[in-house]
Amino acid sequence: MRFLKKHGRQILVYSIYIISLTVFQFALSGWLVPISYMPDLVLILVVVCGSFFGSDDGMIIGILAGFLRDMMVGRVLGLGMLLFMFAGLTASIFLKNSIRRNPLLTIIQVAAVSLIYEIVIVILTFLFPMLPDQVYSFDMLINLRYSDALRKILVNVVAAVPIMFLLHYAGPYRRGQQRTGMEDEGEGGHAWHKI
């Protein structure tokens, strides 16, 4: 009960964001918007959460959002959870020791994590070919993903702006709320977003 009282708002707000962005993503992607022009809304949410609210939030939101991704379109269960967990962590670790978090840096983080995500996908495709006799060269995979990745980063950056606004003005914590008892502010852990 005390847990719900303490974290009720976070649970509710994060649930709404994860579910609505996931549903929105799948409702549009491939149906109304071509896949290559569709921003990865859930990845952006994870990165912005990691950047704004620290590694714990980034990690947990990453795992939950990744679970939904795996459930919907994943070849296996767990890969999306792992990738998104590290996306959330990476976003929070970027600003270690601690540059005050601001929107411009968060946008740069979205671009950087999107790029890393694309590179990881290429590496995974290279390391784990689906047919044992059909191995693709790393150069070919990079060339194949190059233009698509640039476009993806661009649309992700554009889509990050409204998500940042939403999380800032209708986020999981009340504006100006200062967490107490968090011992590691500045480590990217629970450093609070103050713009």
Beta carbon of residue 79, minimum distance to other proteins (angstroms, whole number): 5
**Quick one: which segment of 5-13, 108-116, 118-126, 165-173 binds other proteins (CB under 8 A)?**
118-126
Separation of alpha carbons 69 and 178, rounded Å: 32
Is the CB of 11 or the CB of 195 nearer to other proteins?
A: 11
Q: Can you tell me which of 59, 95, 107, 159 binds other proteins, judged by CB under 8 A?
A: 59
Q: Can you tell me which of 4, 12, 16, 71 binds other proteins, judged by CB under 8 A?
A: 71
Sign (positive or negative) of CA dihedral 61, 112, 42, 117: negative
88 binds other proteins (CB under 8 A): no
Quote the crossing angle between the two packed helices 79-93 and 55-73, to the nearest 10°: 150
**Residues in 27-46 that interact with other proteins by CB under 8 A:** 27-32, 35, 38, 40
Q: List Cβ neighbours of 118 (8 Å cut-off, separation of 6 or more).
A: 145, 149, 152, 153
Burial 153-168 (b: 16+ CB within 10 A, else e): bebbbebbeebbeebe
Could you give the 3-state DSSP secondary structure of residue 128?
coil
189 binds other proteins (CB under 8 A): yes
90 binds other proteins (CB under 8 A): no
Q: Can you tell me which of 105, 112, 116, 121 binds other proteins, judged by CB under 8 A?
A: 121
81 binds other proteins (CB under 8 A): yes
Separation of alpha carbons 178 and 65, rounded Å: 26
> How many CB atoms sit inside 10 A of residue 187's CB?
16
Separation of alpha carbons 113 and 87, rounded Å: 6
**Residues in 159-188 that interact with other proteins by CB under 8 A:** 183-184, 187
- Positions that interact with other proteins (CB under 8 A): 23, 25-32, 35, 38, 40, 55, 59, 63, 67-82, 85, 89, 121, 124-125, 129-131, 134, 136, 140-141, 144-145, 183-184, 187, 189
